[in-house]
Amino acid sequence: MATLICGSLAFDTIMSFEGRFAEQILPDQLHILNVSFLVPSLRRDFGGCAGNIAYAMRQLGGTPLPVATLGNDGGDYLARLRQLDISTEFVRTIDETYTAQAMIMTDRDNNQITAFHPGAMMQAHRTRIAAHDGVRLGIISPDGRDAMLQHAEQFRAAGIPFVFDPGQGLPMFNGDELAHFVELATWVTVNDYEGRMLCDRMGIELDELSRRVQGLVVTLGGEGCDIWEAGVRTRVPPVQAASVVDPTGCGDAWRGALLHGLEQGWPLARCAALGNRLGALKIASRGPQNYQVDGAVLAGI
């Protein structure tokens, strides 16, 4: 079974600041903020939510189908996807713009400041979702606003159950729009901050939100995650990482594991337990697509 992964493909420029942002920013001077950070370490990675989720699923043996756009500089990304044996059937190249670019700066406490140029991602709505042989599952992760709205409707029309994962795209939508996403979706995934924002905009609490879908997951970073089903919360404990090297892409690794479990028909708690393991594995390596999964990750799940 294959999974359609709607979201961004992006190049991540990742910079490491050896100090702490909090020590460089004066709270009483925010109205005239003018700071510069020395970043001795800089690298460029393949990223974007669709790319990162697809990488995680492929590492677990799944069949991800990214539904995404690249710009005129995206040839290297296309080659990488093919090298990883990830289908590019639904990856569109937009010649008149650049691929989406994320500039991410991380301090010594793993706080991050990100600037994001959407580029070709804003044309993602040009690719339509339709029923497809072998596709039984999908996810809507952060993408162009029009694409997220239209793909949700298209998933429902095609009879494909999907995960709504608004992530960084959540602020683009008002309460009515978010409520409609939830109405169309089968599952919702958010981190704790996004969960609070989603509920605030919809005017409900997490227990009520969970009653509107088959399952709700709220990830809690180092504290594991909560799964909500029919108003009942269950805590899934965290997995201790071997080391904390780079948080970039941890949430996407987690969602790739979630989709893998859903493909197998697992209970939501089992999917979440695998997500916690994969997130711990990812955080111990630099970049969102450089970790390797072995049999130990799946053992005992």
Quote the CA–CA distance of 140 and 134 in Å, as a whole number.
Answer: 18
52: which 2 tokens?
Answer: 């990162």
CA 171 to the chain's CA centroid: 15
Across the chain, mean pLDDT equals 94
Residues of the chain whose pLDDT is less than 70?
Answer: none
Q: Beta-carbon neighbour count of residue 170 at 10 Å?
A: 18
pTM listed for this prediction: 0.91
Known catalytic residues are 252
The pLDDT value recorded for residue 292 is 93
Digit-coded pLDDT (tens) for 38-63? 999 888 999 999 999 999 999 999 99
Strand order from edge to edge, sheet including 41-47: 41-47, 10-16, 100-106, 112-117
Which whole-number Å values give the CA distances from 147 to 26, 36, 125, 286, in the listed order? 39, 35, 4, 30
61: which 2 tokens?
Answer: 């043996």
Q: Which residues of 93-127 are buried (b: 16+ CB within 10 A; e: fewer)?
A: bbeebbbbbbebbbbeeeeeeeebebbbbbbbbeb
The pLDDT value recorded for residue 63 is 95
